[in-house]
Structure 1
Amino acid sequence: MARPKSLPDAEVLASVRRILADHGDRAVSFGSVSQATGLAGPTLVQRFGTREGMVRAALSAAWDALEALTERAEADTPLSAKGAQAFLKLLGAESETSEISLLAADFRDPALRERAAAWRARVEAALALRLGGGGKAREAAAILFTAWQGQLLWQQAGGKAFRLKDALKRISG
């Protein structure tokens, strides 16, 4: 079977992220991505330059998608405690967010680390706004964000230990 001559970057980068998620950082190489996509290794080198450039591009594309999703979730959820829950539910429902733990797993790249910090601040601000604003709401938003992230991380290792709805009631009540 002949190799495809072209494949959109989005599909190549999704393959890189799948390899990262399934097998870790060390499994990503031009060879493994070539095998996953059917593109020739030299084609990948020509597109991305280095293995690190390919990984950075894959993670940057995931951040772009997550930031766009966050913007949509902010626009689509009401400014209430139920809106805070709906906001996190929207962020957690999309396939891109299954990569949140992947995005947070490696902050060696300063630019990606900066994006992560900015995204966290944005999510916490959106939550605080839905929880009424002010200092208490900002504190509750930080706790809720951390609980939500922990739930996403550990969900893969055996399910939910608690419901965000219950945590939201406790910290905003």
Structure 2
Amino acid sequence: MAGRPRSVDDEVIFDAVASVVTEEGPGGATLAAVAARVGLSGPALTQRFGSKRGLLVAFAAKAASRVPEVFSRAKAVHDDPVTAVVEALVAMPGRVTSREHLANNLALLQMDLTDPDLREHAVFQSRSLRVQTAVLLSEAVQVGRLADGTSPEALAMDLYTTYSGAMLTWAIDGEGTLEEWMRSNLLRTLAPHLSGSASGSPPLTTGP
């Protein structure tokens, strides 16, 4: 016989995990706390994920797999690949809008670095982000938005470094919103690589 259908989809649960981690840090992401947000019982989540760690590992796996979706959405909205790559990276932090939110997510990153199962997904996400960035940068070279001879892979690494560093510098003493701070830093990194001969190119500013 087929099992009973799940009353709450995993996607809803993972969204609740993201909210709890952002608001309270990974310490607050207990099975009971997450279950309460989605209208389930703690034992129901235990049966599905086994433990809090099991839930966090499943959450990390899903988060890592979503990177291509973020880039696809940006590309669907922005025809210019340079704009698309900037907006995809700006969108990656998701619901992080305050320094407290960022600190809570950095606490989860600390777990990623010490737990081998979590680290596996963190590595996958990091590499996926660079691959997706390089794909859009390759398109930008092909359409003349980036100078001939630009290495998409090397520039993707530079943008990834900028993306990661911008979050930390904003948390320490950045001005404006994280989105604004990150966008301006990414554009600064891209500026030397833009082709001056691309007619009709969008200006070096971007946004939603």
TM-score of the pair, normalised by structure 2: 0.62
Which is further off, 55-64 or 121-130?
121-130
3-state DSSP class of the match of 2:7? coil
3-state DSSP class of the match of 1:22? helix
Matching residue of 1:170:
192
Matching residue of 2:122:
113
C-alpha deviation, 1:38, in angstroms: 2.2
1:124/1:141 contact within 8 Å kept: yes
3-state DSSP class of the match of 1:110? helix
Matches of 2:16 and 2:88, distance apart in 1:
24
Give the direction of change, closer, same or farther, for the CA distance of 1:120–1:158 in structure 2 (3 Å limit). same
Once the two structures are superposed, residues 110-166 of structure 1 have per-residue CA deviations (whole angstroms, 9 ceiling, x without a partner) of 321331232133034225413457565543332222213333555566432771323
Q: Percent identity?
A: 23
Give the direction of change, closer, same or farther, for the CA distance of 1:118–1:74 in structure 2 (3 Å limit). farther
Runs of 5+ consecutive residues of structure 1 not aligned to the other structure: none
Which is further off, 139-148 or 154-163?
154-163
Matching residue of 1:20:
21
Matching residue of 2:82:
84
3-state DSSP class of the match of 1:34? helix
1:125/1:138 contact within 8 Å kept: yes
The residue type paired with residue 38 of structure 2 is T
Matching residue of 1:46:
47
Match of 1:151 among 137, 142, 166: 166
Once the two structures are superposed, residues 55-94 of structure 1 have per-residue CA deviations (whole angstroms, 9 ceiling, x without a partner) of 111222222222222345467766xxx522322213434x
Matches of 1:39 and 1:154, distance apart in 2:
39
1:15/1:36 contact within 8 Å kept: yes
Higher RCO, Cα 8 Å, sep 6+: 2
Give the direction of change, closer, same or farther, for the CA distance of 1:75–1:6 in structure 2 (3 Å limit). closer
Give the direction of change, closer, same or farther, for the CA distance of 1:137–1:119 in structure 2 (3 Å limit). closer
The answer to whether residue 132 in structure 2 is matched with residue 123 in structure 1 is yes
1:30/1:41 contact within 8 Å kept: yes
Give the direction of change, closer, same or farther, for the CA distance of 1:169–1:21 in structure 2 (3 Å limit). same
**Between Structure 1 and Structure 2, which shows a larger proportion of helix residues?**
1
RMSD of aligned alpha carbons: 3.4
Which is further off, 21-30 or 156-165?
156-165
Matching residue of 1:98:
94
Which is further off, 143-152 or 46-55?
143-152
What is the number of residues matched between the two proteins?
164
The residue type paired with residue 23 of structure 2 is D
TM-score of the pair, normalised by structure 1: 0.72
